[in-house]
Amino acid sequence: MTSKLSNAQIAWRAAQDIADGAYVNLGIGFPEMVAKFQPPGREAVFHTENGVLGFGEAPAPGTEDWDLINAGKKAITLKPGAAFFHHADSFAMVRGGHLDVAILGAYQVAETGDLANWSTGPKGVPAVGGAMDLVHGAKRVAVITDHVTKDGKPKLLQACTLPLTGVGCVTRVYTSLAVIDIEDGHFVLREKLPALSFDDLQAVTGATLHLDGAVADLITPEL
Amino acid sequence: MTSKLSNAQIAWRAAQDIADGAYVNLGIGFPEMVAKFQPPGREAVFHTENGVLGFGEAPAPGTEDWDLINAGKKAITLKPGAAFFHHADSFAMVRGGHLDVAILGAYQVAETGDLANWSTGPKGVPAVGGAMDLVHGAKRVAVITDHVTKDGKPKLLQACTLPLTGVGCVTRVYTSLAVIDIEDGHFVLREKLPALSFDDLQAVTGATLHLDGAVADLITPEL
Amino acid sequence: MDKRIATLAEAVAGIEDGAVVMIGGFGGSGAPIELIHALIDRFIATGSPKNLTVVNNNAGNGHVGLAALIEQGMVAKLICSFPRSADPKVFTELYLAGKIALELVPQGTLAERIRAGGAGIPAFYTPTSYGTDLAQGKPVEEFDGRPYVRERWLKADVALIKAELGDHHGNLTFRMAARNFNPLMAMAAARTIAQVSHAVEPGGIEPEQVITPGIFVQGIVEVPAPAQEEALNRANAHYPEVTA
Amino acid sequence: MDKRIATLAEAVAGIEDGAVVMIGGFGGSGAPIELIHALIDRFIATGSPKNLTVVNNNAGNGHVGLAALIEQGMVAKLICSFPRSADPKVFTELYLAGKIALELVPQGTLAERIRAGGAGIPAFYTPTSYGTDLAQGKPVEEFDGRPYVRERWLKADVALIKAELGDHHGNLTFRMAARNFNPLMAMAAARTIAQVSHAVEPGGIEPEQVITPGIFVQGIVEVPAPAQEEALNRANAHYPEVTA
């Protein structure tokens, strides 16, 4: 039995909440995986900061066009109905509240909705990209993440200790163990792995998990 | 002998100061006439607020396309190299300092460079259009106007008495009698009709005319 | 995804009393005449929507389009830059009678406020209107030694716009200078309805030639061979038609 | 009017020591590699321009284009959103050694600051970066109950950009996602030089399809079949070429 969801399974779960026709921005890296798991019959329109709406999967190796890339600088393809635009229009879409969903990775998420996902501290070269813009404006900002850090420490906290990306911006967290909403400064548990007890989940969560009605089973396919 | 220049002659004089390749906005009405008098071999690119660069003369009556108009809502034609753009881009050109020259009409101009050209007071329906934008941003804002009002009162004043369009924005005035620069809060006389004495010109001007070197003869063709 | 709406009546069905409605166009160029007339039809049939705040560069011309909307008494307030034109009698009479409110905004500031609304910029500074009556009551601040006026964004519940091509995703192109305020208003409204002269399949507009990406558009309704305000006014048209 | 410049060397001749230079592109897409290399050639030949402030989304990749410019020591300061990538070794080493300054700006704020510079908007408010380290020292104000950070415009002495078609008036189109920052930088620089893959006569671009109107462009230089940064890096290219 799986003790936690794989990244693919977390991505799959997040994908189930994306409506047909939604405009969606997926953060660089792990969040990009969400695109693979759209339920049959639904088609989201994906936005990338560098000025493309309506892109599809990566092209076959060797057929890349390096003027057709996503924010992670990976080659993409276009779907019918795609559009190009410049960076100011692209971030007007982001900041202006036109995206339905942004799904991002996280180092830490606080019960206040604060997110830390751009800097692990003062060492090295800082780089922020579009993260601070994406957390503002999208109608729904969700995070997908392992429930704990690689060394087992909670990533869901009362307050972030790492530099913030945004204040009070995250409304739902899909983790390797649970689906948790952020409401009025609280973590509200919506779904958890069936085999995991509430207490065990609470033990690896850095802030109080609240309940608001029944907690559903978090069940995903094997992926 | 003409005692004053006709509108066409004022427009002609203003046109002589427009360089080849200059980007120019001509205000609605009288200033539009300036376009007719570009010196041979020079071609300015005309901008209109509603989103066209590089337009030409009016089309033949009956051949108008009402999606191809200028800010005065008159039908225009396009020259090769024309471009369409939306209103925000159009006023980015204006406000952002990209126009070389804006030539506007005036009710009053003050020696400070203040301009009043949008409202004759609280009566009736107020309407401002793009006038307040045009006076800011163009590298050179010039006015063409009769030297005095219809009832003989000065239009060039120490301070405007009508509602202002902009503060300290005009740098040159082409009138029916003279060409006058505005420098450091002073009217500086550059050219006047040869038959007109300085004192007679001063008498119909509402602020002191300063001299800075020789005053040239203001000579225009019969038009 | 298919944002097509079958009829003009459906397209304007959701607009409520008291709504802020942006209407595209500069004079007649780019004005969504048929959408406006559908709104008038609805008002005549149902008494709604009324008490509208309309954002447009002008105040209509003659007795069609925006002028007809105003003539019906549906508009409580107009936000515009230039409510004067060849025949703005409808607006002028109501305004001088104190029956319609006017917020006069310099044209470039109007365009930028609408763009700001669409781009999530709540306020910005502009040199425009500094030292004039139209800056009264607005914060002023100096940057690099020059004074600027602070202006707020402008948003709307609904935008009614006119486009040339529109695909099922809502991607739009515009015909010549009919572009004007249309792409900006599309950005600034919670719900943007575009009348398009030609509805095309996704892929029917080159991605590089899209002017308004579909994310800014919630519905398109095809109106082939749309009327042109200038032509209607030259024919002295009234909407609804005056029957003798 | 003919804004064509015959050679890349002439195109970059006017850029002075200490200049603020905007360089278009997002990663390699839309990056004017040939213009950058011409600037490097000039520096190697004359020792100038140096001490540049460069505005770009990134910090270059590998040893070509912007990375090569940085590697030459020509750049004193970089204003960008994301100076990390597959091989940003050149920037990283200079930065960690304290030999290049960095102003880190969120990507959307960077784009908007550049647009503001081009549009004559000295400052604007954005929700982006509120409550974060990148808002430190910036004025904060509440609008409609939500806090926003005030940001200043960004202007440049020169913009070096890359376009697809360019006519003699400087009207430009861009290829796919290579558009990115290029049209914005064209607006924000006192002097914008575009390398274009195809120079065409006026009229060679449909007026409705112009993305950057010529008023924003001071010179174009034709570079047929321009190099693509990604391809150069996959071939481990260095500029100037490393001779064994």
Average pLDDT over residues D23-27: 97
Looking at residue D242, what is its pLDDT? 74
DSSP bridge partners of C75: C52
Question: Looking at residue D238, what DSSP letter applies?
Answer: B
Select B7-217's CATH number: 3.30.360.10, 3.40.1080.10, 3.40.50.450, 3.90.79.10.
3.40.1080.10
Q: Is the dihedral of CA D103, D104, D109, D112 positive or negative?
A: positive
Looking at residue A223, what is its pLDDT? 87
Q: What are phi and psi of A152, to 5 degrees?
A: 85, 5
Return residues 16-35 of C near D (CB < 8 Å): none
Confidence of residue D227 (pLDDT cuts 50, 70, 90): very high
DSSP bridge partners of A144: A174
Q: What are phi and psi of A38, to 5 degrees?
A: -60, 135
Strand-pair category, C140-143 with C123-126: unpaired
Chains that touch A (3 or more CB pairs under 8 A): C, D
Question: Looking at residue C29, what DSSP letter applies?
Answer: B
Looking up tokens 């990375």 gives D67
Tell me the chain A residues in contact with residue C201 when contact means C-beta distances shorter than 8 Å.
Answer: 80
Confidence of residue A137 (pLDDT cuts 50, 70, 90): confident
Kindly state the tokens that stand for B141: 């804002």
Which residues 6+ apart lie within 8 Å of C104 measured at CB? B126, B127, B128, C80, C81, C83, C134
d(CA C98, CA A38): 56
Q: How far is C205 from chain B (nearest CA, A)?
A: 18
User: Does the structure show a pLDDT above 70 at A67?
Assistant: yes
Are C208 and D123 a contacting pair at CB < 8 A? no
Average pLDDT over residues A82-103: 98
Question: Looking at residue D125, what DSSP letter applies?
Answer: E
d(CA D129, CA A133): 7
C184, part of any domain: no
Return residues 112-151 of C near D (CB < 8 Å): 112, 116, 119-127, 141, 143-144, 146, 148
Residues D193 and D35 sit within 8 Å (Cβ to Cβ) = yes
Nearest Cα to C78, choosing from B86, B125, B88? B125
Looking at residue C4, what is its pLDDT? 98
Chains that touch B (3 or more CB pairs under 8 A): C, D
Closest Cβ–Cβ partner in D26, D86, D129 for A132: D129
Which residues 6+ apart lie within 8 Å of D14 measured at CB? D158, D191
Which residues 6+ apart lie within 8 Å of B170 measured at CB? B106, B109, B113, B114, B115, B135, B141, B142, B143, B182
Question: Looking at residue D200, what DSSP letter applies?
Answer: E
CA dihedral D29, D31, D37, D42 (to 10 degrees): 180
Nearest Cα to D73, choosing from D100, D37, D33, D45? D100
State the total domains in chain D.
1
Q: Quick: pLDDT tens for C35-63.
A: 999 999 999 999 999 999 999 999 999 99
Looking at residue D87, what is its pLDDT? 77
Residues A135 and A169 sit within 8 Å (Cβ to Cβ) = yes
Are C27 and B73 a contacting pair at CB < 8 A? yes
Q: Quick: pLDDT tens for C204-235.
A: 999 999 999 999 999 999 999 999 999 999 99
Which residues 6+ apart lie within 8 Å of B72 measured at CB? B28, B29, B32
Q: Quick: pLDDT tens for C165-190.
A: 999 999 999 999 999 999 999 999 99
Are D215 and B97 a contacting pair at CB < 8 A? no
Q: Give the percent of chain A with pLDDT over 70.
A: 99
D129, part of any domain: no
Numbers of helices and strands, H then E, in chain D: 7, 10
Return residues 101-160 of C near B (CB < 8 Å): 102, 104-112, 114-115, 126-134
- The yes/no answer to whether this complex scores an ipTM above 0.90 is yes
User: Does the structure show a pLDDT above 50 at A1?
Assistant: no
Average pLDDT over residues C148-161: 98
Looking at residue A179, what is its pLDDT? 98
Quickly count: other Cβ atoms within 10 Å of residue B148's Cβ. Answer: 18
Q: How far is B20 from chain D (nearest CA, A)?
A: 8
C41, part of any domain: yes
Q: Quick: pLDDT tens for D113-140.
A: 999 999 999 999 999 999 999 999 999 9
Nearest Cα to C59, choosing from C96, C37, C32, C87? C87
CATH of the domain at D66: 3.40.1080.10
| Residues of chain B below pLDDT 70 | 1-2
Q: How far is B61 from chain D (nearest CA, A)?
A: 23
d(CA B167, CA B174): 19
Looking at residue D88, what is its pLDDT? 76
Best mutation site among A25, A64, A67 for testing chain D: the one with the most D CBs within 10 Å? A67
Burial class (CB in 10 A: 0-12, 13-18, 19+), D145: exposed
Return residues 209-228 of C near A (CB < 8 Å): 210, 213-216
Are A81 and C121 a contacting pair at CB < 8 A? no
Q: Give the percent of chain D with pLDDT over 70.
A: 99
Looking at residue B124, what is its pLDDT? 83
Best mutation site among C113, C115, C125 for testing chain D: the one with the most D CBs within 10 Å? C125
User: Does the structure show a pLDDT above 70 at D243?
Assistant: no
Distance of CA D74 to the CA centre of its chain: 15
Q: Quick: pLDDT tens for A153-189.
A: 999 999 999 999 999 999 999 999 999 999 999 999 9
Compare C84 and C125 and report the one with higher pLDDT.
C125
Average pLDDT over residues D106-112: 98
Looking at residue D84, what is its pLDDT? 85
d(CA A164, CA A108): 9
DSSP bridge partners of D191: D158
- Helix, strand or coil for residue D27? coil
Q: Which of A112-116, B1-5, D239-243 has the highest mean pLDDT?
A: A112-116
User: Does the structure show a pLDDT above 50 at C93?
Assistant: yes
Residues C163 and C32 sit within 8 Å (Cβ to Cβ) = no
Are C126 and B95 a contacting pair at CB < 8 A? yes
Average pLDDT over residues D50-67: 97
C18, part of any domain: yes
Looking at residue C243, what is its pLDDT? 65
Question: In chain A, where are the structural domains located?
Answer: 7-217
Residues C54 and C67 sit within 8 Å (Cβ to Cβ) = no
DSSP states along chain A: --SS--HHHHHHHHHHTPPTT-EEEE-SSGGGGGGGGPPTT---EEEETTTEEEE-SPPPTT---TTSB-TTS-B--EEEEEEE--HHHHHHHHHTT--SEEEE--SEEETTS-EE-S-SSSSS----TTHHHHTTTSSEEEEEE-SB-TTS-BSEESS--SPPSBSS---EEEESSEEEEEETTEEEEEEE-TTS-HHHHHHT-BSPEEEEEEEEE------
Confidence of residue A199 (pLDDT cuts 50, 70, 90): very high
Closest Cβ–Cβ partner in C118, C202, C213 for A85: C213
C202, part of any domain: yes
